[in-house]
């Protein structure tokens, strides 16, 4: 695992900025009257482009045959397939027409069955022996916070510094994003349940402050960007019931894809629905779908926190922050 900075007193903390240094996702209002105005105003600028739509359709096709793909899908041999679209169509045609998957010409096998182990190397998994949600004393609070912020620090630094082949890095990077988000969800919930907040302080800024206290050299820009993108990666992963093959199979699925191609949160929901159903929804339905997506994520966060901690009760929802940029 990546090591944190040397032990010692942290630097004096200034105000914690929520999202320094880059543009936030643009949100669509949930007000019905303003939805139509926003849609008409932004339609030309923010509708999904053809590449994103076509990729969504191809991912839907992959979903139908995902059981045929190996756990470590091949990557494109650029000498055979000069364009991503040609490779995607070849993979889909092969899955549709053949009973078993084979590494045909142009389907490049990366390393073999050990690839998943290489991808997971250095990724701090949030799957572990559960810890108490309500700590019994200050020492237990300190130990649990140390573990949670350590997971986040290792994921952020691992995402930006891993020295591996480009395709392996892409797949690892997606996993780093999901892990940092899951750990951050747990950290926010734990802080909310066990620590007092100053007036005007949010669970998001409090959690971030705890990370900085222990790892003052962490890049907040990287952390904030990962926290914007990672819920979308997690949502796509849930379409395949947690099967990473769906995200591994096409090289276009990178963390930045989820920001650059879908700046409006409602359009991400339309694209995700396209992957799930193979059908393009009316853009006017985007805000409603966005609201449904937020409800889904609320439940997903509950499940993540329950899986990490023991001793939670029915009041758990009170500790779940509903502040992801979708």
Count other C-beta atoms under 10 Å from residue 219's C-beta: 15
Percentage of the residues of the chain whose pLDDT score is greater than 70: 73
Taking residues 207-221, report their average pLDDT.
Answer: 89
Q: What is the pLDDT of residue 249?
A: 94
The residue written with tokens 């029915």 in the block is 314
Backbone angles phi and psi of 10, in degrees to 5: -70, 160
Percentage of the residues of the chain whose pLDDT score is greater than 90: 33
Q: What is the pLDDT of residue 204?
A: 85
Q: What is the pLDDT of residue 139?
A: 85
Name the token pair of 84: 């991503």
Query: pLDDT-based confidence at 115, cuts 50/70/90?
Result: low
Residue 199 has pLDDT above 80, yes or no: yes
Classify 109 in phi/psi space as left (phi over 0), alpha (psi -120 to 50) or beta.
beta
Strands 131-132 and 107-108: what pairing?
A: unpaired
Q: Is 80 exposed, middle or buried (0-12, 13-18, 19+ CB in 10 A)?
A: middle
Taking residues 217-242, report their average pLDDT.
Answer: 92
Read off the pLDDT of residues 18-68 as tens digits, 9 standing for 90 and up: 443 333 444 433 344 444 444 444 444 568 889 999 999 999 999 999 999
pTM above 0.75, yes or no: no
Q: What is the mean pLDDT of the chain?
A: 78
Q: What is the pLDDT of residue 57?
A: 96
Buried b (16+ CB within 10 A) or exposed e, 48-66: beeebbbbbbbbbbbbeeb
The CA distance from 118 to 168, in Å, is 8
Q: What is the pLDDT of residue 167?
A: 84
Name the token pair of 232: 């979308």
Q: What is the pLDDT of residue 317?
A: 65
Taking residues 168-191, report their average pLDDT.
Answer: 90
3-state SS of 162-201 is: CCCCHHHHHHHHHHHHHHHHHHHHHHHHHHHHHCCCCCCC
């Amino acid at each position: 695992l990546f090591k944190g900075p040397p032990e010692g007193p942290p630097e004096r903390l200034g105000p914690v900025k929520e999202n320094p240094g880059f543009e936030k996702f643009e949100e669509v209002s949930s007000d019905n009257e303003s939805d139509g105005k926003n849609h008409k105003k932004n339609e030309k600028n923010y509708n999904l482009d053809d590449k994103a739509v076509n990729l969504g359709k191809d991912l839907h096709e992959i979903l139908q045959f995902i059981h045929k793909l190996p756990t470590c899908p091949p990557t494109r041999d650029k000498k055979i397939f000069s364009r991503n679209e040609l490779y995607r169509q070849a993979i889909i045609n092969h899955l549709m027409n053949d009973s078993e998957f084979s590494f045909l010409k142009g389907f490049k096998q990366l390393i073999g069955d050990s690839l998943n182990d290489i991808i997971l190397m250095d990724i701090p998994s949030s799957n572990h022996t559960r810890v108490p949600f309500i700590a019994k004393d200050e020492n237990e609070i300190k130990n649990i916070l140390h573990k949670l912020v350590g997971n986040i620090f290792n994921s952020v630094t691992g995402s930006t510094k891993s020295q591996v082949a480009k395709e392996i890095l892409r797949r690892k990077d997606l996993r780093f994003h999901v892990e940092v988000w899951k750990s951050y969800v747990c950290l926010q919930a734990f802080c909310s349940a066990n620590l007092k907040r100053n007036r005007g302080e949010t669970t998001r800024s409090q959690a971030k402050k705890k990370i900085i206290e222990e790892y003052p050299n962490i890049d907040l820009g990287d952390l904030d960007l990962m926290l914007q993108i990672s819920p979308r990666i997690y949502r796509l992963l849930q379409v395949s019931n947690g099967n990473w093959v769906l995200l591994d199979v096409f090289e276009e699925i990178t963390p930045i894809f989820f920001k650059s191609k879908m700046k409006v949160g409602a359009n991400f929901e339309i694209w995700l629905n396209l992957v799930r159903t193979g059908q393009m929804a009316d853009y006017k339905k985007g805000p409603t779908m966005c609201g449904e997506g937020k409800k889904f994520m609320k439940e997903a966060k509950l499940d993540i926190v329950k899986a990490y901690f023991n001793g939670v009760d029915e009041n758990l929802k009170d500790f779940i922050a509903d502040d992801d940029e979708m």
